[in-house]
């Protein structure tokens, strides 16, 4: 088991992070999902943030509306006034029919009021990477101003993290990696990242030691099996993102 390097700064976030609010138990990226995740004891959540056509950061994973709403087309091409009219819960189950898309500001106020932690994945509409990072950074800097623990930004898109760094340099950033690529850790360091968030299968003792040795924390997505979670805990990784809020206790050290 690798011990965190002495070069690592204190880490204010809990190990367990609820994916998109409550995994698959509620419609993802809705306030209903975050409330349900909180009922299972989770205190940190992951969400996806993108921009409406008029620049409002809102929560949705896909570029298109069809999978998680009753809308059609590209979400980022719709003004917020249109997006507010969509049903973002009926696709999941009847009990959630009528659940609206939340803004990032909606979720921020909920998390701050309850003392919850948030990982904001900047999930830009293709072609809007840098501007999405900039606007999400501006909003988060304003919404969390004066709070003891800031949100953690993450993105697969370095341009989005660069945008967030430009407008909110004091807020922590993490690079998401699905497969290792040449120079990825150097890129993360150039972006001032405090963490790497990997596909959980990528972590092994040497990689954990390398990333810790570079002064960055080691997080994993999306971990839904006990054997995988136990392996990551034994490796000494720092954070686990899961859909299985009903299976993993966030009190597990």
Using one digit for the tens of pLDDT, what is the confidence trace for 47-82?
A: 999 999 999 999 999 999 999 999 999 999 999 999
Please report the pLDDT score of residue 253 as a whole number: 75
The verdict on whether 200 is a catalytic residue reads no
Percent of the chain with pLDDT over 90: 96
pLDDT tens string 144-191: 999 999 999 999 999 999 999 999 999 999 999 999 999 999 999 999
What pairs with residue 199 in β-bridges? 221
Instruction: Give the pLDDT of residue 7.
Output: 79
Is 122 exposed, middle or buried, given 0-12, 13-18 or 19+ CB atoms closer than 10 A? buried
**Assigned token pair, 197:** 């968030």
Query: What is the rounded CA–CA span in Å between residue 169 and residue 102?
Result: 25
pTM of the predicted model over 0.85: yes
Task: Please indicate whether residue 19 is annotated as part of the active site.
Answer: yes
Q: What CA–CA distance (Å, rounded) separates 45 from 86?
A: 23
84-104 pLDDT, tens digit per residue, is 999 999 999 999 999 999 999
Task: Indicate which residue of 19, 92, 200, 212 is catalytic.
Answer: 19
């Amino acid at each position: 088991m690798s011990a965190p390097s002495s070069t690592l700064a204190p880490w204010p976030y809990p190990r367990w992070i609820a994916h998109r609010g409550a995994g698959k138990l509620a419609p993802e990226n809705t306030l209903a999902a975050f409330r349900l995740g909180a009922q299972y004891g989770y205190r940190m959540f992951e969400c996806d943030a993108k921009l409406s056509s008029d620049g409002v950061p809102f929560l949705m994973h896909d570029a298109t509306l069809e999978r998680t709403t009753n809308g059609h087309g590209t979400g980022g091409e719709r003004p917020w006034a249109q997006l507010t009219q969509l049903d973002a819960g009926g696709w999941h189950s009847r009990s959630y029919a009528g659940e609206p898309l939340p803004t990032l500001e909606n979720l921020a106020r909920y998390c701050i009021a309850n003392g919850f932690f948030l990982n904001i994945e900047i999930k830009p509409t293709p072609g809007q990477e840098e501007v999405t990072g900039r606007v999400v950074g501006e909003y988060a800097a304003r919404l969390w101003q004066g709070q003891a623990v800031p949100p953690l930004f993450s993105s697969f898109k370095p341009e989005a993290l660069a945008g967030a760094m430009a407008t909110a340099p004091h807020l922590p950033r993490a690079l998401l990696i699905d497969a290792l690529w040449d120079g990825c850790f150097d890129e993360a360091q150039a972006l001032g990242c405090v963490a790497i968030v990997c596909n959980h299968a990528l972590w092994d003792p040497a990689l954990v030691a390398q990333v810790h040795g570079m002064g960055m924390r080691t997080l994993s997505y999306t971990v839904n099996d006990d054997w995988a979670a136990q392996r990551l805990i034994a490796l000494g990784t720092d954070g686990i993102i899961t859909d299985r809020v009903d299976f993993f206790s966030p009190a597990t050290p």
